[in-house]
Structure 1
Amino acid sequence: MPGVQSGLRRVAVDTRPLRIPAYRRLLTGQGVSFIGFQLTSVAVSAQVYDITRSSLWVGLLGPANLIPLVVFGLWGGAVADAVDRRRLLITGSFVAWAATLALLLHAWARVDSVLFIIVVIAVQSTGFAVTSPTRGAIIPRLVPTERVAAANTLNFLVSSAGSVAGPLLAGLVLARSGYATAYLIDAVLFTAGLYAALRLPRLPPIGDIVRPGLRSVVDGLRYIGGHPVVLMSFVVDIIAMAFALPRALFPELTAERFGGSPVAFGWLSASIAIGSVAAGLLSGWVGRVRRQGLALTWVIALWGLTVAAAAFTHDLWLAVALLAVGGALDLVSAVWRQTILQTYAPDEMRGRMQGVFMVVVAGGPRLGDLRAGATASAFGLVPAWAGGGLICAVLVVAAGLAVPAFRRYDAGLRLARGPDDADQRSRSGHTRDGDAEQ
């Protein structure tokens, strides 16, 4: 029926960016390698808990990730504005791959050293801190401005699919084979992302080039501070992840309520991403929302309330379902936040904006891990889990409604006016379909 088909087209995910070959390869490589990345993330948490039997030690993986993310994320974003982004992406990828191989050798040797694992995770985080903002800054060079929101949705969709497949695969692998096999699979899957990076066209810097260093980082932070809409897009995400993310509590919840089952742990670890995948497949409407600041405020508040509700259930299916709803809300908010950054800032600022975005997106959950592990050790599982979700809901509403520029932000008007003047100079930097194949 024509009416039904029209309705489905309005809500189904927009796949038009896939017509661009370079973007299509980048997305495919990211999706495949991210399965391995999530597999390793789950395996590391389980391995640390297996060695220590402590959620606090699992939570300490958070700062091990966070410190390199802050330092090298900001630096990597500044470098991405001054060098060929393809070359930088390849370099950071090799650093992350080396860390995975180190985890593999450690597991094969059965050393069971938590300190070694933490150091290696810090190295892996360094590679991720370089590649993530670089990849985010590449997308607006491959995809026209009007398709950036759709490209971001596809990115988050494949990442969410990897966040489902990776943990579920981890549950099976850990139940049957062990940690070494999990890290070996990650090392093999990583080659897809590396191949995609190698096939990218050259992406030299355009616009005003600033030598990477402290000054360029400060310039990026000053730009954020001078634009309340950009600043608040970071603030609301920090609130969401630092207070409401319960990931570090999954091992303890599994042990207390589900008999320590690796399969149950895999389902819990995949639950948020399951909702993100479902939301991504029905995301055609997301790019049409104009009042994105106000929408972000309420979506993140609902995320906190949904996560809080999951703390009280003793049924695995219900816990997974509630966290999946939270994951759907999280994907929608992530698309809006990323799109604000990529369409608001000029090209010569995008690397630094993506660096800060990566620090917040990847660092916020690490703060959340530390917060969850520490409060669970002090107050117990349920207060740490539910209390964080409730605090998130209250804080994000208070913060989001308190800033008029963010509350009134209209993405449609911003697109109609066009990007910043500096961005006008960078329009020639978009890679055409034909160029992407070369």
Structure 2
Amino acid sequence: MLRRLLSRIAVDVTPARESRDLRLLLGGELITGLGTQAALVALPYQLYVETKSAFLTGLLGAVELVPLMAMALLGGALADRHDRRRLLLFDQVGLVLGASALAALAYAGSPPIAALYVLGAWMAGFGAIQNVTAGSIVPNLVAPELLRPALALNYGLMTLTAVIGPALGGLLIAALSLGAAYTVDALSCLAIVAAVWTMAPQPPRGVDLEATEPTRMLASIAEGLRFVRGNHALMGSFAIDLLAMTFGMPRALFAVLSVSVYHTGAGGTGLLYASVAAGATVAALTTGWLGHARRLGLIVIWAVVAWGVAIALAGLASSLWIAAALLALAGAADSVSAVCRSSINQAVTPDHLRGRMSSVFSLVVTSGPRLGDVESGTVAAATSPRFSVVSGGLACVVGVVAIVLAFPALAKFDAERDMAHAEPAPA
């Protein structure tokens, strides 16, 4: 009976067994993600150590937002008109250059704050292209019936990097230096280069690449935005995630809480980052039960409510370990929401629009936490870090009601009825 239960809840690894290219992509993203997450800890930690300001640390999110938005939209249009595999390879050049520059400044000591903001924006922009392009490739590597477990497996491995990566970043900073964390980020990009290099070409289906006119790029972006705007289930899934991340993601305060509240330094900062991802990883790797679920929209709604409650309680925690445990519960709820939202988004989108839909998805997923950086940092500067975390979690819960009223199609989404547009290629 226990074996039957485990087989029902454990994530299905069949997609990875049956698709060589999926294995390559997941392996490359796993290693590269470790370096990315290590740098994710290093940059805000470096800013707070240099400035001693929660506001200036949170401002990093605002600085990163514009290039992230622009490059995500551009990346989506490019992914729908060029070989997605080649686009991933070119994108790694920008990521290596940015991480190398951060490492050089860190080794030099006391870098200009403006330079850190510029390089943070650079990394956010090229990271957005990578996320959009990789996300649009996954559905074409598996058979239609394996789409949902493939997305769950992909998300589970991504969150695993977010568990190990921040801890690795904290250890590298504490044992070696900030420069070491950035160096690991630069070197890790070679993993996805090696993996993608051996994959088969990944052109978008249903598009004549030779007939594509580069001058129509803006029209292509507009077409993708019209598609997203016209699908209320998509809009609802994007809106509820943006709400949760803007008000309920206090990651900009992790360094502040660790240094000034819990007095645990870089190690505590890494633990807080890793806690969210640890809970998300456990949940993502036990999402086998979602393969049998139909009302994915309702699951998303209740998962976001659970996220907000856990974040609010974490703000009241009296110790680092209690806060970390509550953040892990929040991460588990977010993981369930993310898998369901990814399944909804990819399944209702035709392949020739997947890059542009993925650009909006990436825009929401990556810009939401950055808006959260600004919100949490501003509120913390005006009040206190604890009040910022608690009020953000409660605002998330209240906001869910508004999202449900504005986008009723999300709550009504039925997997068997509404996934009629899925067009993944056979494995």
Structure-1 separation of matches of 2:207 and 2:160: 37
Structure-2 separation of matches of 1:13 and 1:165: 20
Partner of 1:436: none
Residue deviations 1:279-311, cap 9 Å, x none?
Answer: 122111122221111211111011011100000
Residue deviations 1:32-59, cap 9 Å, x none?
Answer: 1101100001011111111001111111
* Structure 2 contact 315–389 (Cα < 8 Å) conserved: yes
Structure-1 separation of matches of 2:336 and 2:104: 38
5 Å matches for 1:58-69?
58-69=57-68
Q: Does 1:32 align with 2:34?
A: no
Q: Does 1:189 align with 2:188?
A: yes
Deviation at 1:403, TM superposition (A): 2.9
Partner of 1:348: 352
Partner of 1:74: 73
Structure-2 separation of matches of 1:154 and 1:283: 9
Partner of 2:197: 198
Q: Which moved further from structure 2: 251-260 or 20-29?
A: 251-260
* Structure 2 contact 276–331 (Cα < 8 Å) conserved: yes
Match of 1:217 among 195, 199, 221: 221
Q: Does 1:275 align with 2:279?
A: yes
Structure-2 separation of matches of 1:302 and 1:7: 24
Partner of 2:396: 392
* Structure 2 contact 96–187 (Cα < 8 Å) conserved: no
* Structure 1 contact 38–166 (Cα < 8 Å) conserved: yes
5 Å matches for 1:1-400?
3-19=1-17, 20-208=19-207, 211=213, 213-400=217-404
Structure-2 separation of matches of 1:53 and 1:431: 53
Structure-1 separation of matches of 2:408 and 2:321: 40
Structure-2 separation of matches of 1:171 and 1:134: 29
- One-letter amino acid of the counterpart of residue 381, structure 1: P
Structure-2 separation of matches of 1:111 and 1:311: 32
- One-letter amino acid of the counterpart of residue 421, structure 2: P
* Structure 1 contact 293–400 (Cα < 8 Å) conserved: no
RMSD over equivalenced CA pairs, Å: 1.4
- One-letter amino acid of the counterpart of residue 178, structure 1: S
Helix, strand or coil at the partner of 1:207: coil
Deviation at 1:208, TM superposition (A): 4.5
Deviation at 1:400, TM superposition (A): 1.8
Structure-2 separation of matches of 1:7 and 1:215: 49
Helix, strand or coil at the partner of 2:60: helix
* Structure 2 contact 304–397 (Cα < 8 Å) conserved: yes
Deviation at 1:328, TM superposition (A): 0.4
Q: Which moved further from structure 2: 192-201 or 271-280?
A: 192-201
Structure-2 separation of matches of 1:185 and 1:403: 42
Structure-1 separation of matches of 2:148 and 2:222: 27
Residue deviations 1:154-175, cap 9 Å, x none?
Answer: 1111111111111111221111
- One-letter amino acid of the counterpart of residue 366, structure 1: R
Percent identity between the aligned chains?
Answer: 38
Structure-2 separation of matches of 1:224 and 1:99: 31
- One-letter amino acid of the counterpart of residue 184, structure 1: T
Residue deviations 1:89-128, cap 9 Å, x none?
Answer: 1111211111001111111111421111111111111211
- One-letter amino acid of the counterpart of residue 74, structure 1: L
Partner of 1:435: none
Helix, strand or coil at the partner of 2:204: coil
Structure-1 separation of matches of 2:207 and 2:401: 38
TM-score computed with the length of structure 1 as normaliser:
0.93
Residue deviations 1:63-101, cap 9 Å, x none?
Answer: 222111111101110111111111111111211111001
Distance 1:257 1:291, change over 3 A: same
Deviation at 1:205, TM superposition (A): 2.7
Partner of 2:421: 419
* Structure 1 contact 153–283 (Cα < 8 Å) conserved: yes
* Structure 2 contact 255–265 (Cα < 8 Å) conserved: no
Deviation at 1:407, TM superposition (A): 1.5
Deviation at 1:404, TM superposition (A): 2.8
- One-letter amino acid of the counterpart of residue 91, structure 2: G
Helix, strand or coil at the partner of 1:285: helix
* Structure 2 contact 255–266 (Cα < 8 Å) conserved: no
* Structure 1 contact 137–354 (Cα < 8 Å) conserved: yes
Deviation at 1:146, TM superposition (A): 1.6
Structure-2 separation of matches of 1:136 and 1:157: 14
* Structure 2 contact 284–339 (Cα < 8 Å) conserved: no
Q: Which moved further from structure 2: 131-140 or 108-117?
A: 108-117
Deviation at 1:213, TM superposition (A): 1.5
* Structure 1 contact 68–122 (Cα < 8 Å) conserved: yes
Q: Which moved further from structure 2: 182-191 or 158-167?
A: 182-191
* Structure 2 contact 159–277 (Cα < 8 Å) conserved: yes
* Structure 1 contact 297–397 (Cα < 8 Å) conserved: no
Distance 1:318 1:260, change over 3 A: closer
Deviation at 1:190, TM superposition (A): 2.1
Structure-1 separation of matches of 2:22 and 2:191: 14
Deviation at 1:431, TM superposition (A): 5.7
Residue deviations 1:312-335, cap 9 Å, x none?
Answer: 112111111000000001111111
Structure-2 separation of matches of 1:181 and 1:431: 42
- One-letter amino acid of the counterpart of residue 158, structure 1: L
Structure-1 separation of matches of 2:407 and 2:261: 42
- One-letter amino acid of the counterpart of residue 13, structure 1: V
Q: Which moved further from structure 2: 401-410 or 361-370?
A: 401-410
